[in-house]
Amino acid sequence: MRKHLTDGELRAALDGELEATRLQHLDTCTDCNERKEQLQTESQQSARRLAFLASTDGSVPSAQKAWGRFSQQNRIRKEFSMFRKWFSFPVVRFASALILIVTLVLAFPSTRALAGELLKLFRVQQVTVIPVDFTGLEQLTGDGALGNQFTDLISNSINVAQQPGDPKEAADAEQASQLAGFTVRLPQGKNPSQIYVTDAAAFTLIVDRAKAQALLDEAGRSDLVLPETVDGAEISVNIPASVSVSFGTCPKPTPDSSKVKEEQIPGRAYPDCVILAQIPSPIVNAPADLDINQLAQIGLEFTGMKAEDAASFTSAVDWTSTLVVPIPRNAAMYKEVTVDGVTGTLIQRPSDDSPKFALLWVKDGILYAISGLGTNSEQAIEMANSLP
Amino acid sequence: MIGSMKNLKTEVAETVQEESGSSGFEALFMEHWAHVYRILHRLLGDSSEAEDLALETFFRLYQHYPLPEKEFNLGGWLYRVATNLALHSIRSWKRRERYELAAGRYALDETPEDHPAEIMAKEEEHRFVRLALAEMNERQSQLLIMRHSGLSYKDIAKALKLAPTSIGPLLVRAEREFEKHYRALAQEELP
């Protein structure tokens, strides 16, 4: 006599999924049939509750329209992904990736403004935004030969003098001010959930013109020619300690943003998180004969910007005092707003699945940034205006 | 249930994608959009959330594109990822609050001739079902969702990378677990 059917086999029998040889036993076994009936009663309850999962009622949104949304969002995601990859380079991993990359690529003082001085000094007094197509930098941020060449160039050109280390938690604004070395401002009537201080960082960049030009050539942009004077130029960058104040449930700041994995849909993990960051202006020293306008123009053209647009932008910016923030061209929009008694810039990423906003402004030599998720950017403006 | 089972069987038939480029992906998107949306809509009861998560499912698929030939079980992959996203969404209390309200509103919109009290009672039951599934072990939830959506043991086994003979025993355990969670949730809500 064959052995009795297991509960699993009886369940398969109820679903018409039991193999024929085992079904034969069921035909003759009273005991198994009794157990099958018990199991049926048991599973009918669940089946009744779960039956709505099989419903095919209700209309389905047009696949054509959905494909349109998919294509648009996919482009935005791709561009934003490039943006994130770009900012995750080792050299950009310090407290303020944004400031650093801008400093390296664009924000050097103009020769006209400081002609005759041995060193040029850069300090942030205002912010301006430039939309850049980051997909133009895909080759540099990828794992291909060009990406490796770029990584080598950066790592061989940079000497890190001071690493910022892991962010330290501060109990309150007073302690954060002591640790950071400047007066930290907190919005009135709001209780921060976390305050972190990231130490100062410093590095020196020595330009290797031959390697940088070879990279441009390799990328198919031999039309962009770096000036001879750039070779061997030493640029030092000092980034002061910064403070990050979180409101709501926020992730702990990490010195390496490239290791942050988004397990959920971007933006849904911390829906009520708003972060206020404060950092005194970084200081950049560069040789007096460095033609910043020309370098900025080359950088912008490399991203795909037309020569005349790049020229128009570079000539309109006061490089001695302006923090130029590159934003993804198709994935973000911006406008000027008055906050904290000065003019600030509100950047919004109007994505369907993960809208984000960032408000940037400079006051009394301190750069402030409020960033959050969602579309309610008004809260950033209110927070900025409530700073004492 | 059996009728819909046959439809769903064909919906999750294994597809081997041989084309490349965005036009190939567009064709794939068009073919599977309704199927993925329906899975999510049934699970969430919220059309806008279902649409967002259906798009997210295709974004994740796009990351694997072009798909590896033959061995890639597209139907199963889509089912698995879509249900995971839905369960994750239900677990998030903020989203849960939103879909609970939306689900009730949707039900009233769709069946205005029915008695509102009955609709609300039915939606309450659906809410407990969703919460119970979200509380359970992910694989057990997926198993129940797939089976009660009408998939055959063979299709479930393929989608979840299990032996077909293990589906019966796993279903018994999953349904018992589900009942435990459902009753606990219903008990919590008693006045």
Q: Can you tell me the ipTM of this complex?
A: 0.77
Instruction: State the pLDDT at residue B167.
Output: 93
pTM of the model: 0.56
Judged against a pLDDT cut of 80, whether residue A355 lies above it is answered with no
Could you give the count of Cα atoms lying within 13 Å of A181 in the half-sphere of its Cβ?
10
Provide CB contacts within 8 A for A257, sequence distance 6+: A84, A87, A88, A93, A97
**Nearest alpha carbon to residue A126 among A378, A325, A294:** A325
Whether the CB-CB separation of B136 and B179 falls below 8 Å is answered with no
Kindly report the number of other CB atoms within 10 A of residue B137's CB atom: 11
Instruction: State the pLDDT at residue B114.
Output: 57
Residues of B within 8 A of A67 (CB-CB) are: 26, 29-30, 33
* Residue of B1, B29, B153 lying closest to A51 (CB–CB): B1
Tens-digit pLDDT string for chain B (191 aa)? 333 333 333 333 333 333 335 578 899 999 999 999 999 998 988 888 899 899 999 988 988 777 776 677 888 889 999 999 999 888 875 445 555 555 555 554 555 555 677 777 788 888 899 999 999 999 999 999 999 988 899 999 988 889 988 999 999 999 999 999 999 988 876 66
Q: Do A7 and B172 touch (CB under 8 A)?
A: yes
If one compares A162 and B21, the residue with the highest pLDDT of the two is: A162
Please state the rounded mean pLDDT for residues A341-358: 77
Instruction: State the pLDDT at residue A261.
Output: 44
**Nearest alpha carbon to residue B29 among B71, B57, B69:** B57
Cβ-in-10-Å burial (0-12, 13-18, 19+) of A298 comes to buried
Q: Do A60 and B33 touch (CB under 8 A)?
A: yes
In A, minimum Cα distance to B22 occurs at: A71
Q: How many Å apart are CA B61 and CA B58, to the nearest integer?
A: 5
Mean pLDDT across chain A, nearest whole number?
76
Q: How many Å apart are CA A21 and CA B28, to the nearest integer?
A: 40
**DSSP string spanning A71-102?**
HHHHHHHHHHHHHHHHHTSGGG-SS-HHHHHH
Residue A125 gets which letter from DSSP? -
Measure in Å the smallest separation between the Cα of B72 and chain A Cα atoms.
22
Please tell me the least confidently modeled range out of A97-111, A158-172, A217-231, A332-346: A97-111
Share of chain A above pLDDT 70, in %: 75
Which residue in A60, A73, A75, A273 has the most chain B C-beta atoms within 10 A of its own C-beta, making it the best mutation to test that interface?
A: A60
Q: Which tens digit of pLDDT belongs to each residue from A280-332?
A: 887 777 777 777 778 888 888 887 788 898 888 888 877 767 777 777 777 67
Residues of B within 8 A of A55 (CB-CB) are: 4, 42
In A, minimum Cα distance to B83 occurs at: A53
Residues of B within 8 A of A43 (CB-CB) are: 171-172, 175
Instruction: State the pLDDT at residue B97.
Output: 56
Q: Do B168 and A15 touch (CB under 8 A)?
A: yes
B163 touches chain A (CB under 8 A): no
Q: Do A7 and B125 touch (CB under 8 A)?
A: no
Q: How many Å apart are CA B141 and CA A51, to the nearest integer?
A: 14
If one compares A39 and B7, the residue with the highest pLDDT of the two is: A39
Enumerate residues 99 to 118 of chain B having a beta carbon within 8 A of any beta carbon in chain A.
110
In A, minimum Cα distance to B32 occurs at: A63
Mean pLDDT across chain B, nearest whole number?
78
Residues of A within 8 A of B88 (CB-CB) are: 264
Whether the CB-CB separation of B17 and B28 falls below 8 Å is answered with yes
In B, minimum Cα distance to A8 occurs at: B169
Please tell me the least confidently modeled range out of A199-203, A222-226, A227-231, A257-261: A257-261
If one compares A232 and B98, the residue with the highest pLDDT of the two is: A232
Instruction: State the pLDDT at residue A94.
Output: 36
**Dihedral angle, C-alpha A261, A267, A270, A271, nearest 10 °:** -170
> Token pair of A149, please?
């060449």
Cα dihedral across residues A370, A375, A377, A382: positive or negative? negative
Whether the CB-CB separation of A122 and A283 falls below 8 Å is answered with yes
Place of tokens 């006599």: A1
Please state the rounded mean pLDDT for residues A144-171: 77
Q: How confident is the model at residue A382 (pLDDT cuts 50, 70, 90)?
A: very high
**Nearest alpha carbon to residue A70 among B62, B85, B17:** B62
Share of chain A above pLDDT 90, in %: 18
Please state the rounded mean pLDDT for residues A63-75: 86
CA-based radius of gyration for chain A: 29
Q: Do A352 and B52 touch (CB under 8 A)?
A: yes
B129 touches chain A (CB under 8 A): yes
**Vertex A21: Cα angle to A17 and A23 (nearest 5):** 55
Please tell me the least confidently modeled range out of A116-125, A195-204, B89-98, B180-189: A116-125
B62 touches chain A (CB under 8 A): yes
* Residue of B43, B52, B176 lying closest to A353 (CB–CB): B52
Q: Do B4 and A70 touch (CB under 8 A)?
A: no
Instruction: State the pLDDT at residue A262.
Output: 43
In A, minimum Cα distance to B44 occurs at: A53
Q: How confident is the model at residue A67 (pLDDT cuts 50, 70, 90)?
A: very high
Give the SS3 label for residue B171. Answer: helix
Instruction: Provide residues of A within 8 Å CB-CB of chain B.
Output: 6-12, 15, 17-18, 39, 42-43, 45-47, 49-58, 60-61, 63-64, 66-67, 69-71, 73-74, 77, 264-265, 268, 271, 352-353
Q: How many Å apart are CA A105 and CA A158, to the nearest integer?
A: 14
Cα dihedral across residues B137, A17, B176, A25: positive or negative? negative
Q: How many Å apart are CA A222 and CA A213, to the nearest integer?
A: 8
* Residue of A47, A60, A77 lying closest to B38 (CB–CB): A60
A242-247 and A274-280 as β-strands: parallel, antiparallel, unpaired? Answer: antiparallel
